[in-house]
Amino acid sequence: MDPLNRVTVVAPVNIAVIKYWGKRDEKLILPINDSVSITLDTSIMRAKTTVCSQPDFSENQLWLNGIKTSFTNPRLLNCLEKIKHLAADQQSVDPAVLSWKIHICSENNFPTAAGLASSAAGYACLVIALAKHYKIKTDLSILARIGSGSACRSVFGGFVRWHAGVESDGSDSRATQIADSSHWPEMRALILVVSDNKKHTSSTIGMMNAVKTSDLIKYRAEYCVPKRTDKMCEAILKKDFVKFAELTMKDSNQLHAICLDTYPPCVYMTDVSHKVVEMVHAYNDMCGEIKVAYTFDAGPNACLYLLNADVPRVLTLIKHLFPSSSSDFVTGLGDVEETETEFLKSFPIQPQTEDVIKYVIHTKVGKGPEIETSHLLNEKGYPLNVSE
Ligand SMILES: Nc1ncnc2c1ncn2[C@@H]1O[C@H](COP(=O)(O)OP(=O)(O)OP(=O)(O)O)[C@@H](O)[C@H]1O
Ligand SMILES: C[C@@](O)(CCOP(=O)(O)OP(=O)(O)O)CC(=O)O
């Protein structure tokens, strides 16, 4: 047993195939529609968080990606307060422990706030570590949701559904697993990073403006998503890739249509993003069947879902259309060369200028959060790697 009772957790990102966009309650983070996502492998993209509390700590402290960060973020404070209340109610730890200050150190091994779901991995990681530290028993997806909506889905591995719920206290707004990570082992994701800069309008602000000003968003939540979500769950359970891919692309397109219907419009996709869309449709047409799906969150980066067997060809196509000067253009599970490149000659899209796609993360479905024994805080409760 660790004398400091340090707890370290790693948690995954998830990329939605039916998107969450719009809240009915800003404080409790309650969505206007259900959403469905795939949890990605933590061996490739993950948040890692260590927490510990001690009687002699003078203040709550947070280090994020090696930098001391103010402990004033209302969502962070909300999560901590909620967890301590539960611990007091459940009498899960000595009451004195609840008065001790806490140290939290977290790092993401991929860009933060760049539309790559860092808040999902980050808050799932944080609440799981805190829940374990204070020994509480509760629905962790509900706690993670209070940090960032999409985080509630990162609490599970595999294929996950976030049920919007109807209760005003959020007690039924929680995630459940549709199928675990072993269900569809051929499923792969290629994340095409067009930009890893901080995005101009956060998801939180973008969706708040959409709820205020878009008429389309009401139609989407009421008529489109309920049908689509059921069909998506069915496609996943049946491993029907064609249906899965079609629903994924249509839902991403609808999200970005709503972003344009927002006043003033919220433009996340760029010319490069649209070129990726064109590439996917042209490739599917060439194959005579849907082989690849794209989906875009609140940023220009594409996430392509496809099956293992199609990865070599699709990577070859991406490298042909989006030439790169980088020697490690494809990261994660790495590059897979296709030997037959004849199809490139008749492909209807011309290669773009060099380096418009910065790099590609090749990854797969993952098992979900895990406890780790290598901590980010030392025996005194301070970060191992930090700059003030
Ligand atoms: N490891 C972490 N621990 C705690 N908080 C984190 C962590 N990573 C990210 N966050 C919080 O999430 C914020 C980023 O969320 P934001 O929604 O802007 O970006 P994103 O999650 O990368 O993009 P998106 O949700 O659109 O995919 C950070 O500013 C920080 O407050
Ligand atoms: C486009 C999305 O990625 C939006 C994610 O929004 P966030 O979960 O980041 O928003 P907050 O709840 O305000 O923190 C779609 C999705 O993941 O479903």
| CB of 87 shorter than 6 A to ligand 1 | no
CA of 179 from ligand 1 middle (Å) equals 26
| CB of 126 shorter than 6 A to ligand 1 | yes
315, 336 contact by CB (below 8 A): yes
Ligand nearest to C-alpha 149: 2
User: Whole-angstrom Cα distance, residue 159 to residue 286?
Assistant: 29
Delineate the domains of the chain, giving CATH numbers in brackets.
7-184 (3.30.230.10), 187-364 (3.30.70.890)
- For ligand 1, atom 6, which residue shows the shortest CA distance? 122
Strand boundaries in 158-291, DSSP class E: 159-162, 175-179, 187-193
Q: Residue 122's CB: how many other CB atoms inside 10 A?
A: 28
pLDDT of residue 340: 87
| Structure confidence by residue, pLDDT tens digits, 173-190 | 999 999 999 999 999 999
pLDDT of residue 339: 80
- Is the bond preceding 55 in cis, omega lying within 30 degrees of 0? no
CA geometry: angle at 206 spanning 203 and 209, to 5°?
Answer: 145
231, 43 contact by CB (below 8 A): no
Local structure of 61: helix, strand or coil: strand
Residues 6+ apart with CB under 8 A from 291: 241, 245, 283, 284, 306, 307, 310, 314
| CB of 112 shorter than 6 A to ligand 1 | yes
Local structure of 60: helix, strand or coil: coil
- For ligand 2, atom 3, which residue shows the shortest CA distance? 297
Q: Phi-psi category of 188—alpha, beta or left, where left has phi over 0 and alpha has psi -120 to 50?
A: beta
CA of 117 from ligand 1 middle (Å) equals 7
Local structure of 46: helix, strand or coil: strand
Low-confidence ranges of the chain (pLDDT < 50): 388
Residue in the block written with tokens 């979900």: 368
384, 377 contact by CB (below 8 A): yes
| CB of 40 shorter than 6 A to ligand 2 | no
The reported pTM is: 0.96
pLDDT of residue 28: 96
User: Whole-angstrom Cα distance, residue 300 to residue 253?
Assistant: 13
CA of 204 from ligand 2 middle (Å) equals 7
